[in-house]
Structure 1
Amino acid sequence: MARPWLNVLAQVAPVPLGLLLSGALVWGATNADWSGTSSNSGNKWTSSALGLANDSKVPMFDVDDMHPGDTGSNCIRIASNADFPTALKLFSNSPNWPSNFQSFINLKIDVGSGGISGNCNGFTPHTSAFDGTLDQFVALYTDFRTGLGPWTLPGKPPNSLSFRFAWQFSPRAPDSAQSTDTNEVTFTWEAREHE
C-alpha cells in the first residue's frame, strides 16, 4: 500500500532543491576573482597645417604709359605657418597670350631676405631665380612640378622668404609695341612638405 506522505514529499522536494541550486549559482557569480584596472585617457590625433601668406594687398605691378628702357621693381614676402620643413616653388598659371608683346618685358627675380611689399629697402638677395622675359616665365613655369625652386622653408622662425621682381621695358621694343598691354599675370607660390 502506497504511503501518501511519500507522494507529497516527491512533489514538494523539487521546489526547495531548485531554489537552493539557483542561489548557489548566484553566490558563485558574485564571488568572482579579484581584479584591477589601469587606464590611459585623453588620447587624440591632430593633423598639422600648411598655409602660405604674402604681405601684399594689391598687385605688385600696375604700370601705365611705359616707354622703351623704363624699369621698376617690387618686393613681396612669402611666409609659411607650417611647423615642419616645406619646399616652396614659384610659377604662373596665367593663360597663354595671343601676342608677343610680353617678350619685350624683361624680368629678373631674386630670392632673399628683408624687404616688404611696396618697399625693397633692406632686401638682401641670396640667389637669382629667373632672368628672362615675361612670356618665357609664363610659358615655362606653369605648376608646382615645373615651377622655379624649390627653396626650403625650415618650419621655424624665420619661416619666410622675400622675392624681388625687377622689370625693364626693352629698349629695343618696336613701334608695334605702342598702346599695347599684357594680359593679367598671376604669380603663384606653393609649398609642400619637404621629402
Structure 2
Amino acid sequence: MARLLPRVPRPGRRARRMGLAVSGIGALAVTAGLVWQSAYAAFTETTPAYTLTWSTGTVAIADDDAGAAMFSASGLRPGATQTRCITVTSTGSAPSLIRLYGAGKTTTRSLSTYLTVVVSAGTGGSAGSCVGFVPSSTVYRGTLAAFPTSYSAGVGSWTTAGSTSGETTSYQITYGLSASAPVSAQGGTAAVAFTWEAQNT
C-alpha cells in the first residue's frame, strides 16, 4: 500500500516576490562590496623616492720641511741664535682650528730654561728660506721650558674655512741661548718637536 507524504504548502505569490527582492538586495550588496574593494585598491599614491646620502669632511695638514729637522745645533755658546721659517698648509674640506705646540720635549742640565724661543706668524717665506716672510703677529715669546706641550694650550691659533685648494700660514721661529746661561748648563741638551695640529670646529 503506497504511503502518502504530507503536503507542503507552496508559498504564495507575495512571499515569492519578497524572497526574490531580498535575494536581489543581497546580491547587489555583495557586488557593491566587490566594486568598492576594487576601487579602493586602484587609488593609491606614494611620495617620490628621494635617496639620502651622507659623507664626512676631512682634516688635512702638512708643512714644507720635507721631514727635515728645523734646528739641529750643537756646541752652542751663550748668545748663540738662529732663525728658520716654515709654511703650514691645510687642505681639509672641514673647517678646523690649527695650533702649534711642542711634543716630546726633553732637557738635561736645565738647558731649556736658558733657551729663548720667539714664534711669529705671517705670510711668505718657506722652510728653505725666510726671504719674503712678512710677520703679522708674535704668537709666542718665552723659554723653551715654558713652551706649551698640548693642543689645548697651543699657540698661533688660526681657523681654516675648509678648502681642499689649500689655506696657508707661515711661521718664523728664532731661538737664542741666553748670554747669562750659567756654567751649570755646559754639556746640557734640549729637544722638542714643533707640532701643528688641526682639529675640526
Normalising by the smaller structure, the TM-score range is 0.7 to 0.9
User: What is the CA–CA distance in structure 2 between the aligned matches of 1:125 and 1:58, rounded to whole Å?
Assistant: 23
2:174 to 166, 176, 184: 166
Larger radius of gyration: 2
In the alignment, is residue 75 of structure 1 matched against residue 98 of structure 2?
A: no
TM-score (norm 1): 0.73
In the alignment, is residue 49 of structure 1 matched against residue 58 of structure 2?
A: yes
Q: Which residue of 1 aligns with 2:184?
A: 176
CA contact (8 A) 1:60 1:118 kept: no
Structure 2's unaligned 5+ residue stretches are: 6-35
Give the Å deviation of 1:62: 0.5
User: What is the CA–CA distance in structure 1 between the aligned matches of 2:194 and 2:144, rounded to whole Å?
Assistant: 11
Q: Secondary structure at the match of 2:135?
A: strand
Q: Secondary structure at the match of 2:145?
A: helix
User: What is the CA–CA distance in structure 2 between the aligned matches of 1:55 and 1:187, rounded to whole Å?
Assistant: 13
Please say which of residues 107-116 and 89-98 is displaced more in the overlay.
Answer: 89-98
| Corresponding pairs, count | 172
Give the Å deviation of 1:87: 1.6
CA contact (8 A) 2:81 2:177 kept: yes
CA contact (8 A) 1:68 1:173 kept: yes
Q: Where do 1:1-195 residues align within 5 Å?
A: 32-35=41-44, 39-40=48-49, 42-56=51-65, 57-95=67-105, 97-137=107-147, 141-156=148-163, 159-182=167-190, 184-194=191-201
User: What is the CA–CA distance in structure 2 between the aligned matches of 1:112 and 1:105, rounded to whole Å?
Assistant: 23
Give the Å deviation of 1:82: 2.1
Q: Secondary structure at the match of 1:128?
A: strand
Give the Å deviation of 1:165: 0.6
Q: Secondary structure at the match of 1:83?
A: coil
User: What is the CA–CA distance in structure 2 between the aligned matches of 1:90 and 1:49, rounded to whole Å?
Assistant: 19
CA contact (8 A) 2:63 2:88 kept: yes
Percent of residue pairs bearing the same amino acid type: 28
Q: Which residue of 2 aligns with 1:7?
A: none
Amino acid at match of 2:181: A
